[in-house]
Amino acid sequence: MPTSSIEEWRYSEIDELDISKYLISSSEVVRDCTSALTASVLEANDNALVIVTRNGVVDPNFDPPDGIKLGGSDPEDISHDFSGADLFSYLNALLGSPLSMSIGAVYDQRRPVVVVRYLDSGNPAAIFPNLCLKLEEGASAQVIEVLVSPEDSELLAIPVTKIFQAQGSSLDYLLVQDIGSKCKMIGHQASRLMDNARLKSMSIVAGGDYARLFTTSTIAGAGAESRLNAAYFGSGQQVLDFRTLQEHSAKNGRSELYFKGAAANKSHLVYSGLIKVDKGATSTDAFQTNKNLVLSEGARADSVPNLDIEENDVRCSHASSVGPIDEDQQYYLESRGIKPELVQRLIVGGFFSEIAERSAIAGVKEALRTLAARKWRELQQ
Amino acid sequence: MLRIEDLRAGVGSKEILRGINLEVRSGEVHAIMGPNGSGKSTLSHVLMGKPGYEVLGGSVFLDDTDLLALPAWKRAQAGLFLVSQYPIEVPGVSLEEALEAAFETSGRNATGLHEEILREAASLRFPISLLGRSLNVDFSGGEKKRNEMVQLAVLRPKFGILDEIDSGLDVDALRDVSRRVEQASNEDQLGVLAITHYSRLLKELRPDRVHVLVRGEIAATGGPDLAAQLETTGYAEYGVAEDDKEIVGASIFGL
């Protein structure tokens, strides 16, 4: 087991994790559940192709349409070469029920693909949802993953999503995580982009007692472009922990990361990110921004951006901020005659709706509004 | 009516306003002119209630409301509006959301608000495409000031402070903004205090009275001819260095 003394787990809750208490069990009845947050995304995409999984297992009655192939295991060309594998992604590979999906160029991109993952167990259990997604050459799609569990179930969720984008493919990806407050999550989302592929990713993280998401994206082909966004709002005693790696191993690539979090009550946000530009990845543009809004005295955010550049001809930057609501913004809106509580709600809502514009998937703006409103209520309590 | 009596204020231990007395009736436009460092911006911030400024004495009443006893948002609710010199960027919050929140605070019915914003934006030539965007983010100098005026027009305050509204404005924008202020002054009896360094604003926005602010005090008061006189003499006769005269002169010929 890793410990918080190693850099990748610094600030994390890994030392408190007693992995032995979770059974490896997926045989129970899994209750479907929903939240206002997940419902807002599902409603906005009511024309979607919906694939339901329960504790990682795909509904056996599901019949994929033209252009989508489902398989039980990793397609051979996406199983290797993903960066950032750790103990937990190995556990997932060993113990998970893999869902592999290949989307071809003939798939009708106007119909988003939604993978709904219901997680549930009557006893403390570890669950290993797994998605291997391949976009074939020239394919274009929107894929949404929804991770949700009932409030009373006590789970350790270890989801892994691997995305392989062949040459010229284009993907809009959205993760909506709204698991119950007794759950812990240690997740990994990895993407690998070949020549001129385009990824636009958004992760909305709301739930869990400890929720960690490791996002890695590799520019493996020339001219590929990866846009990684995340929005998260901690409340209560939550620890929301984000680790990112933008890796450029091919030339003319672009990666742009924008992670925004707000911390209320006694929650704790962690961001630690690395841009890595390999030798030979010339003409790389890589940017990394992490902004944190700390809304309560007991809340906290740590932000650690890093660069590791082995090439000269690159444009890279990182920026991070941690702080309370901006006083000038607060005064400006108050001077319009808006009462202070409403001003703060507006600014916090704006903090999230600003990032919504970075996703083309329907319902993102609404989802972020729902998230901000819900956490705002918790902040007032 | 806005009534300022012996207002003294500053930042920290430094007294910047040293006893201001001023009365502006509804429907009147008064200009406050003064060189750099005379306390013009401090006056606008103290009137609006910006945190960080300390009132050391005196009183400010808007009709019967004691403004100095209120926080900024309640001063705005009482009918005061500040057109900021540097409108602040608020990411993710649109003009309409902000105005809705202001209506919600005052319990005003927001029915028809959207249409009214569109109407005012059109008349102030503020681009409709910017209405749904984040307040002041990536707006040009002129767009920011037009946006401030759309807010003023929709909120219909009793009294407006225009803080250096001419900074960053081209001639067309200056004219549009001045026309709207005059309209509000005529139709809604808006009282106006226009704070400016330069006299060029006062060619568009014709003031009833002009006050000269020097070192935190009103050094002179007169009619519009006082502004014209400042164009030629600068602030030199008030004991202000020649640099400032040049700036006043430059504004006439350069802009």
Q: Identify the residue with better confidence: B11 or B242.
A: B11
* B93 touching A (Cβ < 8 Å): yes
Does the pLDDT value for residue B111 go beyond 60? yes
Q: Is A119 exposed, middle or buried (0-12, 13-18, 19+ CB in 10 A)?
A: buried
Partner-chain contact A338 B93, CB within 8 Å: no
DSSP annotation of B87 reads P
Domain count of the fold of chain B: 1
Give residue B240's pLDDT: 76
Closest residue by Cα to residue A364 from A377, A378, A374, A354: A354
Average pLDDT, chain B: 90
Partner-chain contact A336 B88, CB within 8 Å: no
DSSP annotation of A172 reads E
Which chain A residues are within 8 Å of B92, Cβ to Cβ?
349-355
* B77 touching A (Cβ < 8 Å): yes
- Chain A: residue nearest B49 by CA? A335
Closest residue by Cα to residue B163 from A332, A339, A347, A327: A332
The SS3 call for residue A154 is coil
Does the pLDDT value for residue B255 go beyond 70? no
Shortest distance, CA A351 to any CA of chain B (angstroms): 6
Whether A367 contacts A176, CB under 8 Å:
yes
* B82 touching A (Cβ < 8 Å): yes
Return the CATH number at B221. 3.40.50.300
Give residue A27's pLDDT: 54
Q: What is the ipTM of this complex?
A: 0.92
Which chain B residues are within 8 Å of A358, Cβ to Cβ?
none
Q: A153: which 2 tokens?
A: 């179930």
Task: Compare CB distances from B105 to A335, A342, A349 and report the shortest one's residue.
Answer: A342
CA pair distance A233, A260, nearest whole angstrom? 9
The SS3 call for residue A290 is strand
Which chain B residues are within 8 Å of A352, Cβ to Cβ?
92
Domain range list for chain A: 7-326
* B97 touching A (Cβ < 8 Å): yes
Partner-chain contact A349 B50, CB within 8 Å: no
Give residue A75's pLDDT: 54
CA pair distance A201, A174, nearest whole angstrom? 6
Partner-chain contact B51 A349, CB within 8 Å: no
Which chain A residues are within 8 Å of B102, Cβ to Cβ?
336-338
Give residue B253's pLDDT: 39
- Chain B: residue nearest A334 by CA? B73
CA pair distance B71, A116, nearest whole angstrom? 49
The gap from C-alpha A234 to its chain's centroid, in whole angstroms, comes to 14
pLDDT per residue over B31-90, tens digit each? 999 988 899 999 999 999 999 999 999 999 999 999 999 999 999 999 999 999 999 999
- For every one of its 381 residues, what pLDDT tens digit does chain A have, with 9 covering 90 and above? 889 888 889 889 899 888 888 877 655 688 888 899 999 999 999 999 999 998 888 888 888 888 888 876 555 555 556 767 788 888 888 888 788 899 999 999 899 999 999 999 888 999 999 999 999 999 999 999 999 999 999 999 999 999 999 999 999 999 999 999 999 999 999 999 999 999 999 999 999 999 999 999 999 999 999 999 999 999 999 999 999 999 999 999 999 999 999 999 999 999 999 999 999 999 999 999 999 999 999 999 999 988 888 888 899 999 999 999 999 999 999 999 999 999 999 999 999 999 999 999 999 999 999 999 999 999 988
Tally A–B CB contacts below 8 A: 85
* B48 touching A (Cβ < 8 Å): yes
Whether A321 contacts A288, CB under 8 Å:
no
Q: How far is CA B156 from CA A335, A358, B229, in A?
A: 14, 36, 33
Whether B47 contacts B70, CB under 8 Å:
no
Q: A106: which 2 tokens?
A: 């003939």
Partner-chain contact A339 B105, CB within 8 Å: yes
Give residue B249's pLDDT: 40
Which chain B residues are within 8 Å of A354, Cβ to Cβ?
91-92, 134
Which chain B residues are within 8 Å of A350, Cβ to Cβ?
90-93, 97, 134
CA pair distance B191, B145, nearest whole angstrom? 18
- Chain B: residue nearest A340 by CA? B73
Partner-chain contact B73 A327, CB within 8 Å: no
Mean pLDDT confidence for B168-183: 89
Query: Which of B47, B62, B70, B73 best tests the A interface by mutation, with the highest count of A CBs <10 A?
Result: B73
* B70 touching A (Cβ < 8 Å): no
Which chain B residues are within 8 Å of A291, Cβ to Cβ?
none
Query: Which of A233, A336, A347, A354 best tests the B interface by mutation, with the highest count of B CBs <10 A?
Result: A336
pLDDT per residue over B184-241, tens digit each? 999 999 999 999 887 788 888 889 999 999 999 999 999 988 988 888 888 888 877 6
* Pairing state between β A239-248 and A170-178: unpaired
Shortest distance, CA A231 to any CA of chain B (angstroms): 13
* B155 touching A (Cβ < 8 Å): yes
Partner-chain contact A335 B101, CB within 8 Å: no
pLDDT band at B245 (very low <50, low <70, confident <90, very high): very low
Shortest distance, CA B52 to any CA of chain A (angstroms): 11
Partner-chain contact A337 B105, CB within 8 Å: yes
Partner-chain contact B73 A352, CB within 8 Å: no
What predicted TM-score, i.e. pTM, was given to this entire model? 0.90
| 3-state DSSP helix/strand/coil % of chain B, to nearest 5 | 40, 30, 30
Give residue A381's pLDDT: 80
- The DSSP element (H or E) to which A53 belongs, if any, is strand A49-54
| 3-state DSSP helix/strand/coil % of chain A, to nearest 5 | 20, 45, 40
Whether A378 contacts A235, CB under 8 Å:
yes
Partner-chain contact B76 A334, CB within 8 Å: yes
Instruction: Give the CA dihedral A31, A32, A35, A38, nearest 10 degrees.
Output: 140
CB atoms inside a 10 Å sphere around CB A105: 16
Task: Compare CB distances from B77 to A337, A354, A355 and report the shortest one's residue.
Answer: A337
Instruction: Give residue B95's domain range.
Output: 2-254
Query: Which of A325, A338, A343, A368 best tests the B interface by mutation, with the highest count of B CBs <10 A?
Result: A338
Task: Compare CB distances from B134 to A340, A352, A354 and report the shortest one's residue.
Answer: A354
Which chain A residues are within 8 Å of B117, Cβ to Cβ?
none
The SS3 call for residue A38 is helix
Residues 6 or more apart whose CB falls under 8 angstroms from that of B247 comprise B35, B36, B197, B198, B234
Q: In what order do the strands lie in the sheet with B54-62?
A: B14-24, B2-11, B54-62, B65-66
DSSP annotation of A11 reads T
Query: Which of B67, B70, B82, B88 best tests the A interface by mutation, with the highest count of A CBs <10 A?
Result: B88
Shortest distance, CA A349 to any CA of chain B (angstroms): 7
Which position has the token pair 């933008």?
A246
Give residue A39's pLDDT: 94
Shortest distance, CA B96 to any CA of chain A (angstroms): 12
Q: How far is CA B254 from CA A5, B90, B246, B249, B250, in A?
A: 64, 33, 11, 8, 5
CB atoms inside a 10 Å sphere around CB B148: 25
